[in-house]
């Protein structure tokens, strides 16, 4: 569903991504792991059309999207849940979700998508009239995921979904991610510093260091690799 080849990205003279290549098959969960500053968020934002690459190819569902603006990428069915959640704090939960359905591809089925979002996240249904900025961190992350799902994406990229959350809430969020793939066949790219939980969930993973892919393999195999365990799991 997603194929990246020889992707380079620069911020001025500083190179953030260097010949990055990866594949994501339909229905897979693929984890991208690495330390802070490795280029994980830069990669997600480049795929999403927020940054324009200097070189390389990004193909989504067979279509070249490198350099396409982000609103067109969204309309093609590639969704993103940004790091830090980035909800609209003064708008209600319901209004945030309605914003997620503003895409042309999502308008016709918005009511059904809203029911689906509330079924996935019952706490959001209870707080639908509440200002989003007054929600807990975990509830805001649920809202960010639900808002993305309102756009009816075929592939969702999640950037650090566990950031700043209590361990019990992290378990809830990852349970929803697993459910989305298991019950709905959603394709997921997971960028996450919690390496143990992300690789345990992922079919495959890529290790990103200094803007380059240095390792790839099945999620369980990477989690068992001594280099990964020492560098990222603390074992």
* CATH classification of the domain holding 8: 3.40.50.300
Indicate whether 217 belongs to any domain.
Answer: yes
Residue-range definition of the domain harbouring residue 20 = 1-76+195-235
Indicate whether 140 belongs to any domain.
Answer: no
Q: What is the mean pLDDT of residues 181-209?
A: 93
**How many domains does one find in the chain?**
1
Indicate whether 205 belongs to any domain.
Answer: yes
The tens digit of pLDDT for each residue in 175-191 reads 999 999 998 899 999 99
Indicate whether 112 belongs to any domain.
Answer: no
CA-based max dimension of the chain: 50
Task: Check residue 167 and give its pLDDT.
Answer: 87
Q: What is the mean pLDDT of residues 165-173?
A: 87
Q: What is the mean pLDDT of residues 141-145?
A: 93
Indicate whether 13 belongs to any domain.
Answer: yes
Task: Check residue 234 and give its pLDDT.
Answer: 62
Indicate whether 139 belongs to any domain.
Answer: no
The model's pTM: 0.91
Indicate whether 88 belongs to any domain.
Answer: no
Indicate whether 38 belongs to any domain.
Answer: yes
Rounded CA separation 58/46 (Å)? 9
């Amino acid at each position: 569903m997603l194929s990246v080849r020889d992707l380079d990205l620069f911020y001025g003279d500083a190179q953030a991504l260097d010949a990055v290549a990866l594949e994501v098959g339909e229905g897979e969960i693929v984890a991208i792991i690495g330390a802070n500053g490795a280029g994980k968020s830069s990669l997600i934002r480049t795929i999403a059309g927020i940054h324009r690459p200097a070189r390389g190819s990004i193909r989504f569902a067979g279509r070249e999207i490198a350099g396409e603006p982000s609103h067109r990428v969204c309309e093609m069915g590639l969704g993103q849940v940004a790091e830090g959640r980035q909800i609209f704090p003064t708008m209600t939960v319901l209004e945030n979700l309605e914003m997620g359905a503003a895409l042309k591809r999502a308008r016709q089925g918005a009511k059904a998508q809203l029911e689906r979002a509330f079924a996935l996240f019952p706490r959001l249904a209870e707080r639908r009239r509440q200002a989003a900025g007054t929600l807990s961190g975990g509830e805001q992350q649920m809202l960010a995921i639900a808002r993305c799902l309102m756009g009816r994406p075929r592939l969702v990229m999640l950037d650090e979904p566990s950031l700043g959350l209590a361990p019990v809430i992290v378990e809830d969020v990852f349970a929803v991610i697993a459910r989305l793939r298991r019950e709905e066949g959603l394709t997921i790219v997971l960028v996450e510093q919690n390496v143990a939980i992300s690789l345990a969930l992922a079919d495959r993973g890529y290790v990103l260091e200094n803007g380059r892919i240095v390792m790839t393999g099945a999620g369980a195999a990477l989690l068992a690799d001594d280099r990964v365990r020492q560098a990222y799991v603390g074992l």
